[in-house]
Amino acid sequence: MKGTALVLGSGGLTGVGWEIGMIAGLAEAGVDLGTADLVVGTSAGSIVGAQLTSGRLGIEELYERQLVDPRGETVARISRRLISRYVWAAARSHDVQGYLLRMGHIARTARTAPEAERRAAIAGRLVSHDWPEQRLLVTAVDAENGEFTVFDSAAGIGVVDAVSASCAVPGVWPPITAGGRRWIDGGVRSSANADLAAGYERVVVLAPVARGGGPVPAPRTQTAELAAAGAQVVLITPDQASRTAFGRNVLDPARRAGAARAGRAQSAAHAEQVRAVWCG
């Protein structure tokens, strides 16, 4: 088996803050997840993964960025009606592929902000627009045929396009066009996509969204499969204090700072377990 893998799951802006807070807290405790041989990023996790592997800013600098005043940032929301459509799509789907096709339809038919506007917003959040030397995988789903895809530096599209695609929440943000195809959030296939760390010996999974549902596997299911294959795995999900910090709208930038602080505080409870796995 290969070395270390860090899996960063989906979870909106609060998920970005929580993951970076967790990484910063663990680094302070002497465990640097930024040294991962592989980083897997899905949706919010793709932003964190791209920032972490860029080499442009240290972990403390990334953490401080989560605490800045969010005024001027767009506040989005997953409405109750949209949630109902997600639930309907899951209930009508007998397998993951059927669910992804339905989610693609939701994304293609929704009225959203212009694609260029959304891409510019993502570009502004990234500290580098180049693929890192470190191995970074970014997940997305084809909005037309439901194909799950993993982008990396060899994919032929830029990292801004890849991350924008991975963050294209169906019904909230527009599908992103890249490589002649339209893409949506990789989190519709799995909130963590931890199975992409198969073959790695030591794996840490940060999953702001702990649950699965219908045909979508929960992170706990995927990490159990990694462990069964021989990997040492730590799965960390938000504790009660972190969930309270997230609030009801994970896409509200005003909640990001609180989520970052909560993630950093929660890290103390996991430091020894993570150290035992990460440092061998």
Active site residues: 43, 185
Question: How many residues are listed for the chain in this entry?
Answer: 280
CA angle 275, 247, 44 (to 5 degrees): 55
SS3 of the chain: the string is CEEEEEEECCCHHHHHHHHHHHHHHHHHCCCCHHHCCEEEECCHHHHHHHHHHCCCCCHHHHHHHHCCCCCCCCCCCCCHHHHHHHHHHHHHCCCHHHHHHHHHHHHHHCCCCCHHHHHHHHHHHCCCCCCCCCEEEEEEEECCCCCEEEECCCCCCCHHHHHHHHCCCCCCCCCEEECCEEEEEHHHCCCCCHHHHCCEEEEEEECCCCCCECCECCHHHHHHHHHHCCCEEEEECCCHHHHHHHCCCCCCHHHHHHHHHHHHHHHCCCHHHHHHHHCC
Q: How far, in Å, CA of 209 to CA of 53, rounded? A: 22
The residue with tokens 């109750």 is 80
